[in-house]
Structure 1
Amino acid sequence: MATDQRKIVVVGAGSGIGAATAAHFHEQGDHVLAVDLHPDRAEASAHAQCDLRDATQINKLLGSIGGDWDLLAYVAGVPGTAPAADVLKVNYLGMRLFVEGMLPLLRQGGSVVTVASVAALGWQERQNDLAGLLEATDGDTVERWQAEQDPNYPVYSTSKQAAIIYSKRLAPSAWQKYGVRVNTVSPGPTETPILGDFEESMGKDVLDGVKALIGRHATVADVVPVIAFLGSPDAGWVNGQDIHVDGGFVAPLTVGAPIQL
């Protein structure tokens, strides 16, 4: 094995941003473990199946892969068209359990990058609302928490808000104890196989409005380099951050109308 070869775990490598992330690292010569619910054809050194709704499967997988990993890229996610419990278990709880299990397996100087979403906009104002979810460490508790929530609030947004808040809270401790950085990447609408699901759950007119504002949706080629940067030594002092990869459409939502040129 080449001394400069890195070891990368990509969770959610079956399609979309996850498959592109696995291919990126594989093509540059890294050892890539591609993890997905179903058998996948991701470009990778090894493949593993895992149902991220099942803590037992997560623990079993992590107990079998050994240590000395450089990067965990948690890209797995299900859209709001899926059952609410699945959205929360995969996008938030499964991520949390996978990350916490990986921390001892990552080398000092390693990194965790979770793909969140600009759909998490407003997470700062929902920290108290999400306190019960952020305390949950098992699927039953997550389901009981969701059963008490407003069914009209998008559960996908909730799941990504929780992922961002959790990652920010974890980042200082992960750095102090393990020397591992924890960051999130929040893409805007992206041309992947589940874009249609987002159009159904969020409204096609909403996503078309985003596209009209900035000219196009993102592609995986826009997102993967940001994941790669955050997972690299070049980002060695970037920790606890959420990086928007959205072409700039969120910016005027938070600071006022775009300046006309």
Structure 2
Amino acid sequence: MVAQQRRIVVVGAGSGIGAATATHFHERGDHVLAVDLNANDTPASQHEQCDLRDAGEIAALLGRIGADWDALAYVAGVPGTAPVADVLGVNYLGMRLFTIGMLPLLRQGGAIVTVASVAALGWEQRINDLAGLLAAGDADTVAQWQATQDPAYPVYSTSKQASIIFTKRLAPAAWQKFGVRVNSVSPGPTETPILTDFEASMGKEVLDSVKATIGRHAGVADIVPVIAFLASPESRWVNAQDIHVDGGFVAPLTVGPAIEL
């Protein structure tokens, strides 16, 4: 039996997890709109270019793609080695504008999945600290907020913490008004083209310790099935969740040492 074709928007489809996500849905026969800053040859039914740092470009894209989509996977992200404005602009504000703009374009029963990161660890303790960022709806306000922050705190972590909190806050209203579920996925270190950027910003020794603890870094094939599940009807009662896909690395950091067997 051939699965019914679905209509999926994948943002950040040019490389890494985003490209693998678009390819996954394309290969199962879905109609995929691959969105990226750069032109690319990711397998998809449609391609669109969009600078996610530009609210006008996001609005224009959403205005021309039409409605009746089944899912949005917002996978786009830039590492902490990028300019601060770009990190917050793509990882948080661009995600916020794109997901809110997609809600009326999604069918009832649809889903939004955003990709966060285990680098957001500790977000629960920073909800009040991030209140100004979470209230910001444009780039100028985001920049004004960031100017008051400790420059030593990793902005990549800030962007992903805000993404998780925003996702959890958006989910109840999205479900009640549009019948759309909103969840996030937080990968651990993953073998993608920007892994070296993460080594530069987080420290290669830190990522090497993660690899030594759990045996390897993730591959895109470890992450994509979780995105696909959250975007599917099979996860119909999963909403407002952040799912760690990290091989179990984070758990001992939050609940204490692993049980010895």
- Do both share a fold (TM > 0.5)? yes
Question: Shift of residue 260 of structure 1?
Answer: 1.7
| Identical-residue share of aligned pairs (%) | 78
Query: C-alpha separation between the residues in 2 aligned to 1:18 and 1:106?
Result: 20
Unaligned runs of 5+ in 2: none
Query: C-alpha separation between the residues in 1 aligned to 2:54 and 2:242?
Result: 27
In the alignment, what sits opposite 1:49? 49
Residue 124 (str. 1) matches residue 127 (str. 2): no
Query: C-alpha separation between the residues in 2 aligned to 1:4 and 1:190?
Result: 31
Question: Shift of residue 259 of structure 1?
Answer: 1.4
Q: Deviations over 1:45-67 (max 9, x none)?
A: 00000000000000000000000
In the alignment, what sits opposite 1:227? 227
Which secondary structure state, in structure 1, belongs to the residue aligned with residue 53 of structure 2? coil
In the alignment, what sits opposite 2:134? 134
Amino acid at match of 2:177: K
Structure 2 counterparts to residues 154-193 of structure 1, below 5 A: 154-193=154-193
Residue 64 (str. 1) matches residue 58 (str. 2): no
Q: Deviations over 1:157-178 (max 9, x none)?
A: 0000000000000000000000
Structure 2 counterparts to residues 76-87 of structure 1, below 5 A: 76-87=76-87
Q: How many residues align?
A: 260
Query: C-alpha separation between the residues in 2 aligned to 1:250 and 1:233?
Result: 28
Unaligned runs of 5+ in 1: none
Q: Deviations over 1:202-249 (max 9, x none)?
A: 000000000000000000000000000000011000000000000000
Amino acid at match of 2:43: E
Per the normalisation by structure 2, the TM-score is: 0.99
Query: C-alpha separation between the residues in 1 aligned to 2:259 and 2:213?
Result: 13
Which secondary structure state, in structure 2, belongs to the residue aligned with residue 174 of structure 1? helix
In the alignment, what sits opposite 2:16? 16
Question: Shift of residue 15 of structure 1?
Answer: 0.2
In the alignment, what sits opposite 1:245? 245
In the alignment, what sits opposite 1:151? 151
In the alignment, what sits opposite 2:99? 99
Question: Shift of residue 41 of structure 1?
Answer: 1.1
- Taking only aligned residues, the RMSD between alpha carbons, in angstroms, comes to 0.8
Amino acid at match of 1:79: P
Which secondary structure state, in structure 1, belongs to the residue aligned with residue 64 of structure 2? coil
Amino acid at match of 2:10: V
Which secondary structure state, in structure 2, belongs to the residue aligned with residue 8 of structure 1? strand
Residue 5 (str. 1) matches residue 5 (str. 2): yes
Which secondary structure state, in structure 1, belongs to the residue aligned with residue 129 of structure 2? coil
Which secondary structure state, in structure 2, belongs to the residue aligned with residue 63 of structure 1? helix
In the alignment, what sits opposite 1:214? 214
In the alignment, what sits opposite 1:32? 32
Query: C-alpha separation between the residues in 1 aligned to 2:74 and 2:61?
Result: 14
Question: Shift of residue 190 of structure 1?
Answer: 0.1
Query: C-alpha separation between the residues in 2 aligned to 1:168 and 1:200?
Result: 30
Per the normalisation by structure 1, the TM-score is: 0.99
Query: C-alpha separation between the residues in 2 aligned to 1:83 and 1:130?
Result: 19
Query: C-alpha separation between the residues in 1 aligned to 2:3 and 2:70?
Result: 13
Amino acid at match of 1:251: A
Query: C-alpha separation between the residues in 1 aligned to 2:10 and 2:81?
Result: 24
